[in-house]
Amino acid sequence: MDVCKDVDNYMQYIQQHRRLLQDAKKRHGQRPHDRKDRHVMLLEFMMVLMSTAQRTGKKDTQNIHSSFVPPAYPPCTTALENLKPIKIEDLRLETHHRGRFLLLRVVTPPNRMTGILVLVEDEYGDVVILQLYQQEDEVSRPATNVVDKGIVLIVKEPFFKVTASGDYSLRVDHLSDIVSLNSDDTRIPQSWRPRLQEIGKCANTLKLGGNAHVGKGEYWQAIEKYSNALVYSSAPSEINVIKRNRALAYLKTKQYDAALSDTGFPEFGEEASEKALFRAAEALYYLRQYGDCYEVLEQLCKLFPSNNEVIASLKRARRRCDESSNGQFDFKLLHAEAKRYSPPHLDHATYIGPVEVRKVAGKGRGLFTTKPMKAGDLVLCEKAFSHAHVDDGEKGNANITLLVNVETNRAFMGGQADLIQSITQKLYKNPSMAPDFTNLHHGDYKAVDIQSVDGQPVTDTFLVERTMSLNVFGCPVTTLKSHTEVTSNNFSKENANFHSCGIWIKASYINHSCLGNVRRSFIGDMMIVRAAKDLDVGTELMFPYEAPEGSYTSKTERKLKNWGFVCTCALCEDIKATKFSEVTKRKNLLAQLDRLCKSGMIPQDMSTKFERLLKALNETYARPAEEVPRLSLWDPQLLLTRVYMGKLDLTKGLESARKTLQTLSFVVTGLDRSSEALVVLKWGHTVDHLVEVFLHAGSALEQLGLSEKSKQAKHYARVAYRILVGEDASFGDTYLSFRNLK
């Protein structure tokens, strides 16, 4: 939905890889006999690693790391104790070795590209490349912290494949299919264990080691130390201390479920620890459980009233509770934060208005009103479940990820590729948040029905990819910026789709209609949805997934094919029912209007001819404008309104403004010099320049001495602005050229 799609640019690339994939499939089940010598593989890997380091270190370069997603396969759902070992030499090409596992030791430093690549060996000295995907980015977690030389790991149900370069590798797409072993794990062969074992290892020593890692900001290493310490500890008091310390490391690595568990929530015991309570509150806050967070902080304030940090956190939690319950947001503050932060991830709650999810025949599920709403009312102000920011103006050193799925014929570049990784990590780290995402529409993809194995969550990368692709929204940093660019004619169609993108759970239930009754806008990672029309109880909310252009082509159908339906809105049905001769006539008239605008004729002198062409264009439509908008008439009619207002022909200016609104299916009374009240009886399709039309009307009415009607026109301008931009706090600053906006 408004997201940048790069698949067309890479179609040749996709076709080439499809052929490689077909060739690889022919080798399914084969045992390769041309594997390279261990020393050759080590040398080649280290040379590639050096080359990657050199490219990454160069300034003003963009490195595009591409990867082709294999045909979807499910994650392992079998307990490790029920899997049998396999050797590297026994692996078969293009095969998922179900019921098996590989015990491997890393023999090289990692090379981060689209995934993390290392060379690994088994107990028998055979080596193979291991590719790990959906790992955290380098800033969040260095590759050497994920996997490094000497680390021993288990790959569950290994997938052995032919690479695009013709080599062979193990590929792990699911985070839950790989298990890293602690250095003292009994499953590690004796020959792989360190020669010097720690002497006098005890819980306290390991705990202090964990504390030292925390002091250095090495939180993953700290978690390992604390976890080992718990193995050696038996005293309840010591266990509680270690868990409290580990909870801090879990918080720092965004493992909020685990952090909350380590604090003892919801039962803290009679002698509740200050650290346990505070860390529980922090975990609850980041899990967006603001009510529970507030209750814990209240308890903490009673027990430790002099803790200023707790008091500040309590106020913050109270603000989130207020936002989520009544939808009262300081939108000027949100704009300031979106401008200040990069990425623009804002610390605010989600507000869900009077709506509910219901089943819809032929569409799965939809979002419906439970109370009447007026145009401009707030439906949702939702924080993204996950958001990937791409700074299109950013220059300098950058790594761009390109994921190509030849099975679904989709390419994900930049934001969308990053979003898959971000969501996968979030679901793996915090499985309590998974149902909100996994319950979204994911087409015909069949997900596994097991959520955890061996005490760890099962994550399905391909479920994430399919769900993301069907529910992702493209987004600007702020819709206000886009609105300003459009209204100042500084916006091109090429910029209509955005590289930044995200998933908004509740908004994903809103189905498509070219003529929607709600409108979405963005401030950072907050999506604002407002009613674009007056809505009765039980109305299904709809907005366009792709902005309508007033013409219908096979491309329009292809855009909606991903969601499994054909749009049957009044606009689409009318376009499909229009005779070809009328469509041709319409195009010819639009071409004449375009030539007239480019002729160099003074606008004041071309109005008569312009009106004649507009009248002829109107006659190519059969259904009344109040039923079906006449989008091709919008731009020329708006231009004519500007001409009359520029000439100070206020009567014709008002008449043209009324006709401009009619092209969008608005029904308005009193937009003239009469004493009849100005009332919008029916809101039509909303576009950015709609605000300008109402302001022109307000200006004309004011100059004609009709002050009350002028105020009403400006009120409608503000409502239109609120619908389009998401808020009206910035209305006056945006339209300074129009006087007396209040």
Please list, in sequence order, all residues whose beta carbon lies within 8 angstroms of the beta carbon of residue 428, skipping any fewer than 6 positions away: 175, 176, 457, 459
138: Cβ contacts below 8 Å, ≥ 6 apart: 112
Q: When comparing pLDDT for 495 and 711, which is higher?
A: 711
| Domain assignment of residue 506, yes or no | yes
Is 190 in contact with 148 (CB distance < 8 Å)? Answer: no
Q: Using DSSP, state whether 688 is helix, strand or coil.
A: coil
A 10 A CB-CB count for 279 gives: 25
| Listed range (43-57, 251-265, 428-442) with the worst mean pLDDT | 43-57
| pLDDT-derived band at 11, boundaries 50, 70, 90 | low
* Assigned domain for 370 exists: yes
Statement to judge: residues 159 and 84 lie in one domain? yes
How confident is the model at residue 396, as a pLDDT? 40
pLDDT value, residue 292:
97
Shared domain for 164 and 91, answered yes or no, is: yes
> What's the domain count of the chain?
4
Considering the domain architecture, whether residues 11 and 149 belong to the same structural domain is answered as yes
Give a yes or no: residue 662 inside a domain: yes
Rounded to two decimals, the pTM is 0.92
DSSP designation for 540: B
**Nearest to residue 727, comparing CAs of 290, 325, 319, 351?**
351
CA nearest to 131, candidates 147, 118, 150: 118
Task: Decide if 224 is inside a domain.
Answer: yes
552 pLDDT above the threshold of 60: no
Range of the domain at 506: 339-417+434-456+463-572
What number is the average pLDDT over the span 265-272? 82
* Shared-domain flag, residues 159 and 15: yes
Last-in-domain residue among 292, 308, 333? 333
Structure confidence by residue, pLDDT tens digits, 365-381: 999 999 999 999 999 99
Tell me: do 46 and 115 sit in the same domain. Answer: yes
- What does the alpha-carbon distance between residue 703 and residue 200 come to, in Å, rounded to a whole number? 91
Do residues 300 and 392 share a domain? no
Residue 62 in domain: no
pLDDT of residue 114: 84
**CATH value at residue 512:** 2.170.270.10
- Mean pLDDT, the chain, as a whole number? 90
Packed helices 256-263 and 415-429: angle between N→C axes, nearest 10 degrees? 20
**Both 393 and 493 in a single domain?**
yes
Distance CA(482)–CA(477), nearest Å, equals: 9
Between β-strands 178-180 and 398-405, what pairing exists: parallel, antiparallel or unpaired? unpaired
pLDDT digits (tens, 9 = 90+) for 463-502: 999 999 999 999 999 999 999 999 987 666 555 556 899 9
Supply the CATH number for residue 185's domain.
2.40.50.140
pLDDT cut 70: percent of the chain above it: 88
Distance CA 664, CA 507 (A): 25
CATH number at residue 269: 1.25.40.10
Composition of the chain by helix, strand, coil, percent to 5? 45, 15, 40
CA angle 109, 114, 116 (to 5 degrees): 25
What are the residues facing 359 on neighbouring strands? 365
Look at residue 26 in the predicted model and tell me its pLDDT: 85
For residue 402 the two structure tokens come to: 């390109």
Judge if 104 and 186 occupy the same domain: yes
- Report which DSSP code applies to 545: S
Least confident of 70-84, 301-315, 425-439, 606-620: 606-620
Is 126 inside a domain boundary?
Answer: yes
Query: Three-state SS for 334?
Result: helix
356, 367 Cβ separation under 8 angstroms: yes
Show which of 138, 172, 192 is a domain's final residue.
Answer: 192
The encoded tokens of residue 87 equal 């050797």
Q: Are residues 253 and 284 in the same domain?
A: yes
In a domain, 104, yes or no: yes
Last-in-domain residue among 128, 162, 192: 192
30 and 12 belong to one structural domain: yes
Q: What is the pLDDT of residue 395?
A: 41
Classified as helix, coil or strand, 624 is: coil
149 and 265 both lie in a single domain: no
Alpha helices in 381-433 (DSSP H): 415-429
Helix (H, G, I), strand (E, B) or coil at 107: coil
Quick one: pLDDT band at residue 397, thresholds 50, 70, 90?
very low
* Residue 601 lies inside a defined structural domain of this protein: no
Residue 369 shares a structural domain with residue 265: no
Distance of CA 245 to CAs 8, 230, 233, 238, 274, Å? Answer: 50, 11, 14, 11, 12
Q: For 471-539, give the secondary structure using H, E and C.
A: HCEECCCEHHHHHHHHHCCCCCHHHCCECCEEECCHHHHCEECCCCCEEEEEECCEEEEEECCCECCCC
